[in-house]
Amino acid sequence: MTRSWPQRALLVLGLLLVTVPLYAPALDVTGTDYHYEATEITAEDNELTFVDDRPRRLYYGLSGFDCYGTPADRSCALEAATLDGPVVAPHPTITEATGADFLDTDEPYLAYGDGRVYDYTAEWNGSERAFVLGVERVNAVEALDQVATPARHAPTPALNAVRTGTATTDGPLWGDDSREAHIVEYEGDYYVVSVQFYSPSLSENPLLERLLEGISVAFGLAVLARVRSEQ
């Protein structure tokens, strides 16, 4: 029996619905999409410099460099005081110390928007009973090389961003929910791979996904049953 156009449309709809579990995972309708951009960075004149001057977002920081490209915060404002010379910093509870190696920093280097790169220094001044905090200017090329991730160790989407300019993933490239930009070394050049924006969708929930698939299959079976009854 020849089916009418509405019957054929319902048949196609029913088949699409009952096969949802086969193709739904590829559609990735839940979770968050992260949109990354890669831009080349150099150490021209011993300063970190982007090859182009397009606006870019580094709101979540740059791995390896404290304070570079991030909005002003208290720690970066305080660290800026060390650019003019050592700062004596008494500690309210530490009155004796044999060294300052335990004064950890978030990143190994400090850099601000002008691109100059500094290493942290810290000493204990026994007579003052205080830490002496400072910075030392370092070679920006060497700093880039130290913090950069070699291409062979970089996530594949990061390399795709380096090669094509952009990449989209369904999760952060580095660490759990880390949106910090990272530097990738690729064929002798350095690229900052940073998340520019992310697109939240339905919360990732396997239970919800299975429920939606079950509803789709049930509705599809009902549609196919109707088509069959109208033959």
At 201 the pLDDT is 57
pLDDT higher at 153 or 206: 153
Q: For 60-108, how does the pLDDT look when each residue is reduced to its tens digit (9 = 90+)?
A: 889 999 998 776 688 899 999 999 999 998 888 877 776 655 688 889 9
At 82 the pLDDT is 94
Instruction: Quote the strand ranges of the chain, DSSP E.
Output: 32-42, 49-50, 65-66, 87-90, 109-111, 117-125, 130-137, 149-150, 166-169, 182-186, 189-200
Q: For 98-156, how does the pLDDT look when each residue is reduced to its tens digit (9 = 90+)?
A: 665 568 888 999 999 899 999 999 888 888 888 999 999 999 999 999 999 999 999 99
Mean pLDDT computed over every residue of the chain: 81
The token pair at 42 is 């150099």
At 40 the pLDDT is 94
Q: Which of the four pLDDT bands, split at 50, 70 and 90, describes residue 220?
A: low
At 188 the pLDDT is 93
Per this entry, what is the length of the chain? 231
Ranked by mean pLDDT, the top range of 4-8, 10-14, 30-34, 73-77 is 73-77
pTM: 0.71
**pLDDT over 60 at 27, yes or no:** no
pLDDT higher at 181 or 203: 181
pLDDT, mean of residues 167-182: 80
Helix (H) or strand (E) holding 211: helix 206-229
At 42 the pLDDT is 94
At 197 the pLDDT is 75
**pLDDT over 70 at 36, yes or no:** yes
